[in-house]
Amino acid sequence: MRPEDLLRPMPQGLYCPPGDFYIDPVRPVERALVTHGHADHARPGNAKVMATSQTLDIMALRYGEDFAGARQVAKLGEEVRIGDVTVSFHPAGHVLGSAQIAVEWQGLRIVASGDYKRRADPTCLSFEPVPCDVFITEATFALPVFRHPDTAAEIGKLLDSLRHFPERAHLVGAYALGKAQRVIKHLRDAGYDEPIYIHGALKKLCDYYQSQGIDLGVLEPATVEGGKKGDFAGAVIVGPPSAFADKWARRFPDPVASFASGWMRVRQRARQRGVELPLIISDHCDWDELTETLDELAPQEVWVTHGREEALLRWCELRQMRAKPLHLVGYEDEAE
């Protein structure tokens, strides 16, 4: 028996023949197991979806209650039989509700980790290492140049800027699921207790995080109807990155353009986007987190997907760890 008999890439996504299901399918299928709520992993239109209750809630918020024909809640750590396969979900540390999916069949266990990170995130459960024969890892930041700095220090840059420029609005671009709430929570944990203003596109997910016990403090809508431009002097305004390119952003006084992303490690990207205050905050592993995870799990085989596969494959080769690229299409780091 080969691992490919248990999981293999297909045009629709990663397919499990003995369980007849797909993990994070990119096209509608009969049965989908979904790792987390980002749009490139969780799509509407599947007949049956199994995911953590938080991921199911997030899918309903984003796509409407009819996002799937039927839902099945995956409880973390609980083993469930699907066909001839035993599946279980384990925290991935990526965003609220995110999970790795372990599939086991005839003594062989493969863990599909989806997207994951290892550093502390106050808005979701930490990644749980699951022993396995084959580990499927993402490779979003799989180059040695990507070493994400300490998150508290990045948040400190934003707080410093607020102190230095009390008359300027600080616009922080952050993706709507996970990053926005994480930036807000880190600000709160650093003692920032002013109201934080949010773009309308973030409201539903911020409300949901609050309902799940993640205290984001006082959030106000970043609307200026009837107000004066100076109303947002010295304020923190969080919005999806796309909003900062349009008219919405121009209403704020002399804004400091900031963006929270792992890509901010690349100065050219920050410059291209007109980002004055880049914050290197990522929901994906950096190079060290990836390699440390592979060392820790020491699987017999590593499958590398969505990202810069080459460097990680080479690293595995030097470690005499068997590895191959998994050619999956349709995943493009929404979270970054």
Q: Which residues form the interface with Zn ion (CB under 5 A)?
A: 38, 115, 335
CB closer to Zn ion out of 115 and 154? 115
Q: Least distance (Å) from Zn ion to the CB of residue 115?
A: 4
Q: Which is nearer to Zn ion, 32 or 82 (CB)?
A: 32
Q: In what order do the strands lie in the sheet with 13-16?
A: 8-10, 13-16, 21-23, 31-33, 46-51, 68-73
Containing H/E element for 292? helix 287-297
State the minimum distance, in angstroms, from the CB of residue 97 to Zn ion: 11
The distance of closest approach from Cβ of residue 96 to Zn ion in the complex, given in angstroms and rounded to an integer, is: 11
Closest to Zn ion by CB, 237 vs 335, is 335
Q: Which is nearer to Zn ion, 58 or 323 (CB)?
A: 58
Q: How far is the CB of 38 from Zn ion (least distance, A)?
A: 4
- The C-alpha atoms of residue 324 and residue 300 are separated, in whole angstroms, by 12
Task: Give the whole-angstrom CA distance, residue 213 versus residue 222.
Answer: 23
134 vs 177, beta carbon nearer Zn ion: 177
Min dist. Cβ of residue 41 to Zn ion (A): 6
Estimate the crossing angle of helix 53-63 against helix 203-211, to 10 degrees: 160
Pick from 88, 17, 81: nearest CA to 51: 88
Q: Which is nearer to Zn ion, 38 or 188 (CB)?
A: 38
CA max distance for the chain: 69
Residues 152, 295 contacting (CB under 8 angstroms): no
Give least dist CB 108 to Zn ion, A: 26
Coil/strand/helix, residue 173: strand
